[in-house]
Amino acid sequence: MAKKKKNTTARPQLGDDVEILSAGEVLETPITRTLESNYMPYAMSVIVSRALPEIDGFKPAHRKLLYTMYQMGLLKGARTKSANIVGSTMHLNPHGDAAIYETMVRMGRGNESLLVPYVDSKGNFGKAYSRDMAYAASRYTEARLEPVCAELFGDIDKDTVDFVPNYDATTTEPTLLPVTFPTILANNTLGIAVGMASNICSFNLTQLCATTAALIKDPDHDILSTLPAPDFVGGGSVLYNEEEMKKIINTGRGSVRVRARWEYVKEGNMIEITQIPPTTTVEAIMDKISELVKAGRVREISDMRDETDLNGLKLTLDLKRGQDPDKLMAKLLRATPLEDSFSCNFNILVGGSPRVMGVREILNEWTAFRMECVRRRTWHELQGKEKRLHLLEGLAAILLDIDKAIRIVRETEEEAEVVPNLMIGFGIDEAQAEYVAEIKLRHLNREYILKRTAEIDQLRQEIEKLKAILNSPARIRRIIVSELEAVAKKYGQPRRSQILYEEPAAAEDEEADAMPDYPVNVFFTREGYFKKITPQSLRMSGEQKLKEGDEVVYHAETKNDVHMLFFTNHQQVYKCRAGDFEDSKASVLGEYIPARLGMEEGEQPIYLVLTQDYSGHMLFVYESGKCAKIPLEGYATKTNRKKLVNAFSAKEPLAAILDLPAEEELAIQTSAGRLLLVHSAQIPAKQTKTTQGVAVVTLKKNQSIRRVRRACAMELANPHRYRVRTLPAAGALLRSEDLAEQTTLGE
């Protein structure tokens, strides 16, 4: 059979023998080259051209959209369909219609995302404070620019900013907008780039303009005196923290705590929440409250309703009879997003480079940007007036002898020679002669001549004024201040977020978080099941119901508000309180702790500790003979964290865990049949939870710790035989009478 000819040019078919050049070769490329050629251009594009706002307060997507609406005449005209705006914006923004429309929705007044909205919306634009209230499609809604946008585009046709070609070079777009007030701090902005992010809070427009003007007049102005705290579109109460505000003013980083606003309606025995923090939604708050009610941590609420309508946000909580609304709200503010923190990160592009700046530095940069805009506007106006003056001066020369000008025109045989002849006859340049030649015959009267002459004098005065502005930075700053005052007067609004200078006492917070205090019995099984039973129910119950093969390894009489720490085989500890669990009965299996506390796959609780004040120590004994004694207070946290990692060392297998409310004697048994009694006071405490501690038992090769118990639970014939004075120690061999004790206890 003839061998089939290899075909390396035609498209291979199924079953053909194909020769692939360089097949099997591995080309090694340095990762630095890959990063430089592939990753860095992408990262820079996201940082510079997408995610971070510039000094004019806008990201490229926002700027392209607003400029398109301005070009469509939507600043003073009637509204148009949002779909028209989205389609026109695609000439500047090469993204899909959904992304462009979502950008416009967020800038709309109806969405309530911005303190100073830029889009006058009509129709359903959704709500920023609602997760489920979606906006309508672009074919249903209408929009135009808000009147405040006149402050964004007022000087854009006077060469105040640079223009660049769009993505396909069919038109041009501005690189920045010549805003007359610091929009960068007037609205909140969130941007996530590559390796960096930006999160800017909004400030009240009136206070912001006043602060900027004061800084222009006095660079050492105390900003907090005129700009005390952020102002959010959703209102709420800002918990004033002077140190944090100074940090934000100076560094651009920090956090602002915002609390919901509410009122108690006595007639209906209900609480109405009307303003919430900007970082959450109504649905998130309702979900958290429902979770607390189901867990039994909130028992004062009988019903909850979202009554948000055209009048605005309203979340209603119906209270049970006799409940204190202040204590309930104090509890909810601590346990739900009704009080949340807004983390500030003022990362802004200045000259194409990202910079994290404080409020003072941002306003100084904006002032420098605005001064350049005013200078360029003044230069543009000066050029126009000088050109106009130059033409009128040529006209004035002609008007001295109109008859001569008419004679020159009439006696010129060719039209192309009219302008050169006028230039020769009156000693004027080509531009002046061209202007004169275009004057209508009806304008050669006394009134026209006098008006033009008067205009020459006025132009000369205006030119001198413009030159004085260009030569005086102080005059430019005064112009900016006057513009800021005009903006504040025309568009300023009262603060929406009130400022709370005094927080409630901490004792009230503790009381609000208090759980019902009554006696309970807790049961914890080897398989990880937990039950909490009241004494009355326990007396009326029979035998404990357990899973086949399971047994109770921990039983204690305690209080409902006790803190519980579940240590797991993944070296983690999960914290909760007994009151987080519903009262149970002996006839049920109980709650499965790994599922209830959201443990990781394969993670199991191995030890339970009950505590009220986190006093005492935890003892971790490892098979190698080392022992770590950790203060229990090391597991207490000021925040309500439910999970702590690295609860103990994972470097060696664990032999036993014990909690020591007080110092006591311990019995340690080894695989070599030895026993030693060690007082816990002999073991030094360590603050680092992941430490292996100190060597307590001396072990030979292949020996390990088998069992650790409390010595008080043992009956030894001669306990002094096993006590040790110094550590580490090997212990003593178990005698026959004590060996029987060990066997009994082990059964």
Query: Average pLDDT, whole number, for the chain?
Result: 88
Q: What percent of the chain has pLDDT over 90?
A: 55
Domain 509-663+680-694, architecture per CATH: 6 Propeller (2.120)
* pLDDT exceeds cutoff 60 at 510: no
Domain 58-178, architecture per CATH: Alpha-Beta Complex (3.90)
* pLDDT exceeds cutoff 80 at 88: yes
CB distance 550 to 521 below 8 Å: no
- pTM exceeds cut of 0.85: no
CB distance 560 to 297 below 8 Å: no
Higher pLDDT, 200 or 716: 200
Task: Indicate the pLDDT class of residue 83, thresholds 50, 70 and 90.
Answer: very high
Is the Cα torsion angle 400, 406, 412, 415 positive or negative in sign? Answer: positive
Residues listed for the chain? 747
Q: What is the mean pLDDT of residues 280-297?
A: 90
Within 461-580, strands assigned E span 498-500, 519-525, 529-533, 552-559, 563-568, 573-577
325 Cβ neighbours under 8 A, 6+ residues apart: 264, 271, 319
Q: What is the mean pLDDT of residues 535-541?
A: 85
* pLDDT exceeds cutoff 50 at 3: no
* pLDDT exceeds cutoff 90 at 129: yes
String of b and e for 209-239 (b: at least 16 CB within 10 Å)? bbbbbbbbeeeebebeebbbbbbbbbbbbbb
Task: Indicate the pLDDT class of residue 365, thresholds 50, 70 and 90.
Answer: very high
Complete DSSP assignment for 575-607: EEEGGGS----TTS--EEHHHHTTPPTT--EEE
CB distance 131 to 159 below 8 Å: no
Rg (CA), the chain: 40
What are the pLDDT digits (tens) for 589-611?
889 999 888 888 889 999 999 99
Q: What is the mean pLDDT of residues 413-432?
A: 89
Domain ranges for the chain: 58-178, 261-337, 509-663+680-694
Query: What pLDDT, on a 0 to 100 scale, did the predictor assign at position 304?
Result: 95
Place of tokens 């086949």: 548
Angle formed at CA 526 by CA 521 and CA 529, multiple of 5 degrees: 55
Among 39, 140, 167, 501, the one annotated catalytic: 140
CB distance 153 to 75 below 8 Å: yes
* Three-state SS at 264: strand
Was domain 261-337 assigned CATH 3.60.15.10? no
Q: What is the mean pLDDT of residues 568-579?
A: 90
Q: Are strands 665-670 and 674-679 parallel, antiparallel or unpaired?
A: antiparallel
Tell me how far apart the alpha carbons of residues 292 and 300 are, in angstroms, rounded to a whole number.
Answer: 11
CB distance 301 to 318 below 8 Å: yes
Active site residue 140: yes
* pLDDT exceeds cutoff 60 at 95: yes
Neighbour tally for 292: CB within 10 Å: 18
Query: What pLDDT, on a 0 to 100 scale, did the predictor assign at position 741?
Result: 54
CB distance 491 to 116 below 8 Å: yes
* pLDDT exceeds cutoff 90 at 49: no
Angle at which helices 359-399 and 402-411 pack, to 10 degrees?
A: 80
Task: Indicate the pLDDT class of residue 740, thresholds 50, 70 and 90.
Answer: low
Query: What pLDDT, on a 0 to 100 scale, did the predictor assign at position 515?
Result: 66
* pLDDT exceeds cutoff 70 at 11: no
Query: What pLDDT, on a 0 to 100 scale, did the predictor assign at position 17?
Result: 54
Higher pLDDT, 327 or 21: 327
